[in-house]
Amino acid sequence: MDVHIVGVSPPAPVIEGRAVLVGMQRGRDVVSPRPVDGQSMTFDAELDVVITEAGVDYRGPWVQGRRGDRFLYLCWGHDSAHGFDGFRRAKLMLGVLDPAEMAAAPEGTVLEGRLTLVDARGGPVCAAVRPPGVRWLLRR
């Protein structure tokens, strides 16, 4: 299943004199981190919805965490001589998704997550993000 993340109200593009980059983590790597820009930013990934005896599970190279506590990482950082130098991550929690709805989603359905990219203090959103911090929708 394709995943489309829409983030609005990005944080300041420069923190402590350094440009802020944001990207999604695939495995151990942050893929295509890019500068904070504009009024909204989008990110795309994929996940596999797997039906098991224990229920619905999510797998794939973008999916992080243990069974029952799966999530996608949105990573914040700066460019450095060694590449991406992360300083904060947001866990977009998948366990809040309705298992029956996810299992019944027809092929071609897109999982869309909408969230504000800043926290209450104006910094990049971080920690575990669950509703109402993220709104998940299935788009056909």
Q: Is the pTM of this model over 0.85?
A: yes
Supply the mean pLDDT for the chain.
96
d(CA 65, CA 71): 6
With CA atoms as reference, report the closest residue to 62 among 30, 35, 90, 105. 30
Task: Kindly write down the DSSP assignment for every residue of 74-101, as one continuous string.
Answer: EEEEEEETTEEEEEEEEEEESTTS-HHH
The structure tokens listed for 42 are 């989008």
The amino acid at residue 137 is L
Q: Which band of pLDDT confidence, cut at 50, 70 and 90, is reported for residue 35?
A: very high
Q: Are strands 83-93 and 127-129 parallel, antiparallel or unpaired?
A: parallel
Output the pLDDT for position 140: 87
**pLDDT of 30 strictly over 90:** yes
Output the pLDDT for position 85: 95
Output the pLDDT for position 86: 96
Number of domains in the chain: 1
Q: pLDDT digits over 62-94, tens only?
A: 999 999 899 999 999 999 988 899 999 999 999
Domain, as residue range, for 91: 2-139
